[in-house]
Amino acid sequence: MVIQSPPRGTGPAAGASGPAEPSARQVAGRRWRSARGIVAALLAMAVIAVVLAALRPSASTERLDPTSAKRDGTRALAEILRQRGTPVTVARRAGQAADLSVPGSVLVVTRTERLTPADLDRLRGTQGDILLVQPERETLEALAPGVLKSGPSFARSADPGCALPAATLAGRVAFGSSELYEASGGATGCYRVDNLARLVQVRAAGRTVTVVGSGGFMTNEHLAEEGNAALAMNLAGARAAVVWLSPDMPPPGADTGDRSLPDMVPLGVWLFFLELLVTVVLVALWRGRRLGPVVAERLPAVVRSAETVEGRARLYRASRARDQAADALRAGARERIVPLLGLPRTSAQDPASAQEIVTAVAARIGQPEAIVGGALYGTRLPGASHGPSQETPYGPSQGAPYGTTPGAPYGAPYGQPYGQSPQEQYAPELVDDAGLIALSDVLDDLERQVRQS
């Protein structure tokens, strides 16, 4: 219980009219107000995740396949090239594509995540030009040295910004989401974002290698947008023949290269963790703004210290717990007397130190140890040699309360020993409240004598 002096203008009457205990509805309202920010953040995360999942294009097994008429296939581009006199040969294995690739041809390589290190070794020996569509890191290292993957770009369209004829003739192209590349040396970069390019063309091993960060502009769905068809035809149909490598899935257990864990994590997963990080930071800022100076808050109930003592006393009286009340009085007296004797405070409640305390008090005030022990402990101390006593109760039956006769010896009202004799009277029984009051007077007189001695 919190004990505090009541503020001005408070008291029993004010307490009676104080705020009532909050109802269950009010408590539920406070809990909702404190938690609604977190709930809103979680709902926002769920909505954003659903939107991202809905907007992200689903990749099928026939993506960029020149024989597929689906939206993500490239059959339309292959048919246009054939109509313009450029034959298109589809290969499903890297070895087959390497054999078909000759000088004067363009090898279009898609779905490079399906290529194994052995496939890349076969493609290194091709003699024709190579067009790599959204290649993986291992494919870049093997076929386009000096070109490094830098990161994604989500800008939908871009202008060429370079002198490459295939790009300048096509003009603005709608790539959609695309990878960006960093090239060094004599490489040509087009459709740039800052210093990074979506399209890079380099000379390597006596052939021209073109790297493009997106295949979306080649698909049946987006081929007719802006300059997409022109760029696709300029890149794929730059030579007399086209060999289109769309590899099948490698057999189970085949080595698909030294791909790191970040390379195998889909983009949507990275976006989810980025969204989660932003949400955590926002929640931390929202909760952190509540930190500040300590605000004084009125206690729900203010109880006078005297009322607390009186209330506890009434409980003792109602339960007729005179023994417990006497123990509390004696314990308090010992706590106050022990420091006056130079003894440790912990010895006041230590039964092993009882005889030492009684002996010290008796020597200080010149009273028998039996009476001092009866006053401070109410029980016979270990080792006491006094015979059995016929206990006489505290109270009016012995005349006036203890201490009413000035100059009377300790424990002797009206000049007589309290009880039959100082040696016999050791722990008198408390039969009524008057005896408890008498014990309180005895303890007060005992403490006064110790202080004055």
Sketch the domain layout of the chain as residue ranges: 75-273, 319-452
What value does the CA radius of gyration of the chain take, rounded to a whole number of Å? 49
CA 240 to chain centre: 62
- The pair of structure tokens assigned to 369 is 């140890």
Helix/strand/coil for 142: helix
Nearest residue to 237 (alpha-carbon basis) of 87, 349, 370, 411:
87
- Is the domain defined by 75-273 classed in CATH 3.30.70? no
Give the model's pLDDT for residue 59: 57
CB count within 10 Å of CB 245 equals 30
CB count within 10 Å of CB 82 equals 14
Decide: 110 and 136 in contact? Cβ < 8 Å.
no
2-22 burial, b if ≥16 CB within 10 A, otherwise e? eeeebeeeeeeeeeeeeeeee
Helix/strand/coil for 273: helix
Give the model's pLDDT for residue 392: 36
Alpha-carbon gap, residue 164 to 192, rounded angstroms: 13
Alpha-carbon gap, residue 296 to 66, rounded angstroms: 74
Helix or strand run (H / E) with residue 333: helix 322-340
Per-residue pLDDT of the chain (453 residues; tens, 9 = 90+): 344 444 444 444 444 444 556 677 777 777 777 777 777 877 887 787 777 666 655 556 788 999 999 999 999 999 999 999 999 999 999 999 999 999 999 999 999 988 988 899 999 989 899 999 999 888 998 999 889 998 888 888 999 999 999 999 999 999 988 999 998 778 899 999 888 999 999 988 889 999 999 999 999 999 999 999 999 999 998 889 999 999 988 766 555 555 566 666 666 777 778 888 888 888 777 776 665 666 677 767 777 778 888 888 888 888 888 888 888 889 989 999 999 988 888 888 888 888 999 999 999 998 888 888 888 888 644 444 443 333 333 333 333 333 333 333 333 333 333 333 333 343 455 667 888 888 888 899 999 999 988
- The pair of structure tokens assigned to 222 is 């987006």
Q: What is the pTM of this model?
A: 0.49
Helix or strand run (H / E) with residue 372: helix 369-376
Alpha-carbon gap, residue 396 to 392, rounded angstroms: 11
- The pair of structure tokens assigned to 62 is 């026939």
Give the model's pLDDT for residue 235: 93
